[in-house]
A and B are shown apart, each in its own frame.
Chain A
């Protein structure tokens, strides 16, 4: 991707796709219902899958096809399915407890996006075309927004989704900036996401059974 001259229609497509990816993370920030979060995450992963596929076709890289396929299976299908399944099983209809209210969250998200843009601009503007700077900035802001989601929402499921958004950001970052990253790395990262999500789901299930809630607000016994 670096140093590659792309046709104009591809530039537009990539810009559009990454803009929608960013938009979906704002959908997550502005929502109070857990199922919104999960669907937004699924659609975001689907857009990342399309982006990876386009880059694979453009660079004639079989590795990227494979990575795109696995992204589709793991990020778009398995993980949202597991999360939705768990919501159905425990019949969760509770709203999310927010420590920072929705308007403030959106403003913080905007600030983080701008910060991500300037950071990435300063780092890589010497050796990459503008289009890549835009997409990489969005990838980095996904990482920031993921962290913000973890600290501002008091539910185990939203914390899992925050981690997944961070992973999405890193994946987007690596696909856009370093598409030659060894295949084994991407595979292992996907495997790792699966293991971590399963582990966290089991933990939150145990928590639900033991404490009767998915809220992390009551986890305040261990201090000092």
Chain B
């Protein structure tokens, strides 16, 4: 087991450095692809292993992989795999059409591996502070990926991203110090002299009752604000649409579908400790309020959008709101639904961002109004794009539908009908807005006969290669399959995670 964890941690690092050293384009592409495939295989192995065991521990409990960590690792690994496959097509096209230099190309392949590594490390760390620092490192690596193609816009996006998220992480660090202080006060609880000097999730979670309640209250709020900046919870979401829209499509996908989940994982670890200390009502109310507000902001953003990638960035904000609402509603259904929604989001979002990448390379624009008649120019991409959009907005049968439906069920179960009504209205608005925009892009025909071609690019018919279509097709099949049938091992695994969070 030790060997496997070691391979798991070293492989992305080695492949990234090798890609930079050997300076061979095909080699860089394939070693990244192989490394991501092996990572995915190992993450599935963890999943199978943890079906029967409680957790994998190393280095005197510094590294703990329990069911929740393994699940997040799976989500990261899936997107890493898909993105490394899509990068082959996307970067070749960028080199050919947009004059990407060799240096930028190899820097991209170094950083994509490092970015994946930092995200894979985050869930297995048992120490809160180390986890936060690792999240900060994901910011640093991904902000350089945002400026893969150096333009004024991408620099602006990267700068906003690094400043806003770094200050967010500082707030979370302050919250973590307060958590430590809450356990470190000399106090007497129930006649027992107690002092907890630890920053480990496991220790704090086991001794949560002994923490100072006032400090935990404010510390949890600071954590939600701080890590919420990274998750993209409103009103701290302002960096997210910029960074997602300016990054290359494979990176937008990794940012949206795996990084946000990695940060949400941290909030839920603190949620568990705060809940055990204060009773689950307090953290749940915070998550519900911030979740509903985030969904609202996300949907308003979707309705106002004029460019493709920003549209899906706001859709990510909306989904993160739904996930935090699910965790906030709690219970079996709510938590299970939120966890399932994480997986569903990680499968649906890649289809849309990769599709937008294909459109960007064909039409040389992100403007929704300038893209018309994709069904004639790129029939296969168009088919996958429309199907992906349907799964993303939650049309059955899709995994998103199941997740959102379970969260709705929980709100009915708690008889919080106001929440149900608001959620249904917002979801329907998002449904209409996204499908209307997709419809105008895919099936719209411009009036004059020089078709679909605002920039006079002389667009030729035809899709890009198989490497641009497979990463869209695989998650589409998976998400529809999960919408029809949830395999029982996955169900019992998710139930195990529910018990970890709201035990």
- Residues of A whose CB lies within 8 Å of any CB of B are 2-3, 123-124, 127, 143, 147, 150, 156, 159, 162-163, 166-167, 170, 173-174, 177-178, 180-182, 184-185, 188-189, 191-192, 195-196, 199-200, 202-204, 206-207, 210-211, 216, 219, 221-222, 224
**In angstroms, how far is the closest chain B Cβ from the Cβ of A7?**
21
- What are 22 inter-chain pairs, A to B, with CB distance below 8 A? A123-B214, A163-B163, A170-B177, A174-B177, A174-B180, A177-B177, A178-B184, A185-B199, A196-B140, A199-B140, A200-B166, A204-B159, A206-B150, A207-B155, A207-B159, A210-B151, A211-B152, A211-B155, A219-B156, A222-B156, A224-B301, A224-B310
Q: Is the CB of A210 within 8 A of B150?
A: yes
The residue on A at minimum CB distance from B239 is: A222
Q: Is the CB of A200 within 8 A of B152?
A: no
**In angstroms, how far is the closest chain B Cβ from the Cβ of A191?**
8
Q: Is the CB of B162 within 8 A of A203?
A: yes
Contacts of B139 in A (CB 8 A): 196
CA A48 to CA B162, docked complex, whole Å:
26
**In angstroms, how far is the closest chain B Cβ from the Cβ of A65?**
19
CA A159 to CA B129, docked complex, whole Å:
24
**In angstroms, how far is the closest chain B Cβ from the Cβ of A142?**
11
| Contact among B173, B186, B215 for A123, CB-based, below 8 A | B215
Within 8 A of A (CB), among B164-207: 166-167, 170, 173-174, 177, 180-181, 184-187, 197, 199
The segment from B130-138, B281-289, B399-407, B468-476 found at the interface with A is B130-138
CA A173 to CA B222, docked complex, whole Å:
15
Contacts of A173 in B (CB 8 A): 174, 177
The residue on B at minimum CB distance from A204 is: B159
Q: Is the CB of B147 within 8 A of A206?
A: yes
Within 8 A of A (CB), among B240-285: 241-242, 245-246
| Contact among A150, A180, A221 for B167, CB-based, below 8 A | A150
Q: Is the CB of A180 within 8 A of B184?
A: yes
Task: Please tell me if B84 contacts chain A, counting CB pairs below 8 Å.
Answer: no
Within 8 A of A (CB), among B304-362: 304-306, 310
The residue on B at minimum CB distance from A136 is: B181
Task: Please tell me if B144 contacts chain A, counting CB pairs below 8 Å.
Answer: yes
The residue on A at minimum CB distance from B155 is: A207
The residue on B at minimum CB distance from A202 is: B144
Q: Is the CB of B143 within 8 A of A203?
A: yes
CA A181 to CA B177, docked complex, whole Å:
8
Q: Is the CB of B155 within 8 A of A203?
A: yes
The CB with the most chain B CB atoms within 10 A, among A3, A203, A210, is that of A203
Task: Please tell me if B119 contacts chain A, counting CB pairs below 8 Å.
Answer: no
Contacts of A191 in B (CB 8 A): 133
CA A24 to CA B108, docked complex, whole Å:
41
Q: Is the CB of B177 within 8 A of A222?
A: no
The CB with the most chain A CB atoms within 10 A, among B127, B144, B177, is that of B177
Task: Please tell me if B160 contacts chain A, counting CB pairs below 8 Å.
Answer: yes
The residue on A at minimum CB distance from B306 is: A224
Q: Is the CB of A123 within 8 A of B218?
A: yes
CA A216 to CA B158, docked complex, whole Å:
12
Q: Is the CB of A221 within 8 A of B153?
A: yes
Q: Is the CB of B186 within 8 A of A3?
A: yes
| Contact among B158, B173, B185, B246 for A170, CB-based, below 8 A | B173
Q: A143-B170, A210-B150, A222-B246 are in contact. Are A199 and B156 (CB under 8 A)?
A: no
Contacts of A195 in B (CB 8 A): 136-137, 140
The residue on A at minimum CB distance from B153 is: A221
Contacts of B136 in A (CB 8 A): 192, 195-196
Interface size range of chain B in the complex = 35 or more
Contacts of B304 in A (CB 8 A): 224
Main secondary structure of the interface of A (DSSP, over half): helix
Task: Please tell me if B297 contacts chain A, counting CB pairs below 8 Å.
Answer: no
**In angstroms, how far is the closest chain B Cβ from the Cβ of A95?**
20
Main secondary structure of the interface of B (DSSP, over half): helix
The residue on B at minimum CB distance from A159 is: B163
CA A166 to CA B222, docked complex, whole Å:
14
Given contacts A221-B156, A224-B304, 14 further A-B contacts (CB under 8 A): A123-B215, A150-B167, A174-B180, A178-B180, A184-B127, A185-B199, A188-B129, A196-B140, A196-B166, A199-B162, A200-B163, A204-B159, A210-B150, A210-B151
Q: A170-B174, A185-B199, A211-B155 are in contact. Are A192 and B137 (CB under 8 A)?
A: yes
CA A136 to CA B24, docked complex, whole Å:
54
Contacts of A202 in B (CB 8 A): 144
Q: Is the CB of A222 within 8 A of B162?
A: no
Q: A167-B170, A170-B174, A178-B180 are in contact. Are A206 and B162 (CB under 8 A)?
A: no
| Contact among B144, B159, B186 for A127, CB-based, below 8 A | B186
10 closest A-B pairs by beta carbon, nearest first, are: A185-B129, A219-B156, A222-B242, A199-B140, A192-B133, A166-B170, A174-B177, A188-B133, A207-B155, A192-B136
Q: Is the CB of A189 within 8 A of B133?
A: yes
CA A5 to CA B245, docked complex, whole Å:
56
Task: Please tell me if B157 contacts chain A, counting CB pairs below 8 Å.
Answer: yes
Contacts of A221 in B (CB 8 A): 152-153, 156
**In angstroms, how far is the closest chain A Cβ from the Cβ of B363?**
20
CA A178 to CA B182, docked complex, whole Å:
10
CA A187 to CA B115, docked complex, whole Å:
22
**In angstroms, how far is the closest chain B Cβ from the Cβ of A165?**
10
**In angstroms, how far is the closest chain B Cβ from the Cβ of A37?**
16
The residue on B at minimum CB distance from A163 is: B166
Contacts of A150 in B (CB 8 A): 163, 167
Q: Is the CB of A177 within 8 A of B159?
A: no
**In angstroms, how far is the closest chain B Cβ from the Cβ of A80?**
19
Q: Is the CB of B150 within 8 A of A203?
A: no
The CB with the most chain A CB atoms within 10 A, among B140, B215, B218, is that of B140
Q: A3-B186, A123-B218, A192-B133 are in contact. Are A219 and B140 (CB under 8 A)?
A: no
Contacts of B184 in A (CB 8 A): 2, 178, 180
**In angstroms, how far is the closest chain A Cβ from the Cβ of B240?**
11
Q: Is the CB of A219 within 8 A of B159?
A: yes
Q: A123-B218, A195-B137 are in contact. Are A163 and B159 (CB under 8 A)?
A: no
Q: Is the CB of A2 within 8 A of B310?
A: no
Q: Is the CB of B174 within 8 A of A143?
A: yes
Q: A203-B162, A210-B150, A211-B155 are in contact. Are A181 and B180 (CB under 8 A)?
A: yes
**In angstroms, how far is the closest chain A Cβ from the Cβ of B141?**
9
Contacts of B173 in A (CB 8 A): 170, 189
The residue on A at minimum CB distance from B243 is: A222
Q: Is the CB of B170 within 8 A of A2?
A: no
**In angstroms, how far is the closest chain B Cβ from the Cβ of A201?**
11
CA A21 to CA B359, docked complex, whole Å:
54
Q: A206-B150, A210-B152 are in contact. Are A147 and B130 (CB under 8 A)?
A: no
